[in-house]
Amino acid sequence: MRDFFSPGRNSFWLVLPALLLLLVALGYPLAQVVLRSFTDPEPGVGNYVWFFSRPVNLAVFQRTFVVAGWVTVLCVVLAYPYAWLMTSVGPNMRVLLVLCVLVPFWVSGVVRTLAWVILLQDSGVINRMIMAMGFEKIRLIRTQTGVIIGMTQVLLPFMVMPLYAVMRGIDLRLVQAARSLGARPMLAFLQIYLPLSLPGVFGGAIIVFILGLGFYITPALLGGPRATMLSTLAQQQVLQQLNWGQGGAMGVILLVATLVLLAFAGRFARRRYQMGAGGK
């Protein structure tokens, strides 16, 4: 027992239970998904050929990326001024701003989506406001727009937090220096502040995009047949049509897309770091 807690020694035994749990509850299931995508109903790459040869699937595949992309862009636009404001106010105001970002997390994702269903439904609050202003009623629920609105709200915190972390570290004297040398405010922002805050934008954008690709609940409840995303399609294949091979192939495609993005992001981050270390 003495050696159990001693530094350096036996530390592997301490992480072993966690690794075993992951192997049983995640590694083995994922291996099953990959295996079935290549063997069910018959060995080969038939499921992948099927996926990429059907226009319906390709449309969903493309839509998944488009929706995740739109959500990412909207998150950047909304989070950038918000995170900046967080760096420029007093501590109490900052707590309030953080709380507002975290409130969507206080209720379960399903309930949060219920709130959006209530607001976006055809006779819902938003449509009645639009009609009161004298415009035509628009379809929001069961459309891509509705899904994007709901997802952006849920994912905004993942954009605000990394942005805030980076912006807090920016030395504002650099901006002042640029101003004192005659740069207009807009130019000082574009040339100094914006480039310095880009690592935060990039970090947050990657997280939001990856989480957005795998979203399931919001598209399933707020979208409809016309706004299906890859996750929903994979779920239907497995649960409704018992099509393990085709559903598995979709899962693998989604997983590979996620991993490729992560690898790309990791590489980009490392390169930036090396550039910084090189004194550039």
Contacting another protein within 121-180 (CB under 8 A):
121, 123-125, 153, 156
Residue type at position 125? V
Which residue, 14 or 138, has its beta carbon nearer to another protein? Answer: 14
- Tell me if 240 contacts another protein by CB under 8 A: no
Which residue, 190 or 280, has its beta carbon nearer to another protein? Answer: 190
Interface stretch with another protein, choices 10-18, 42-50, 55-63, 192-200 (CB under 8 A):
10-18
Which contacts (CB < 8 Å, 24+ apart) does range 259-264 have? 261/206, 261/209, 261/210, 261/213, 262/206, 262/210
Q: Which of 61, 221, 223, 228 binds another protein (CB under 8 A)?
A: 221
Smallest distance, another protein to C-beta of residue 271, A: 18
- Tell me if 22 contacts another protein by CB under 8 A: yes
Instruction: Give residue for tokens 């209530």.
Output: 118
Is residue 225 reached through a cis peptide bond, with omega within 30 degrees of 0 on the bond before it? no
How far apart, in whole angstroms, are the C-alpha atoms of residue 194 and residue 167? 10
- Tell me if 76 contacts another protein by CB under 8 A: no
- Tell me if 55 contacts another protein by CB under 8 A: no
Smallest distance, another protein to C-beta of residue 63, A: 15
Encoded one letter per residue, x for contact with another protein by CB under 8 A and - for no contact, window 35-54 reads -x------------------
- Tell me if 108 contacts another protein by CB under 8 A: yes
Burial 89-101 (b: 16+ CB within 10 A, else e): eeeeeeeebeeeb
Element (H, E) at 48: helix 46-53
Interface stretch with another protein, choices 5-13, 42-50, 165-173, 192-200 (CB under 8 A):
5-13
3-class SS shares of the chain: helix, strand, coil, % to 5: 80, 0, 20
Which residue, 144 or 152, has its beta carbon nearer to another protein? Answer: 152
Residue 40: phi and psi, rounded to 5, are: -105, 125
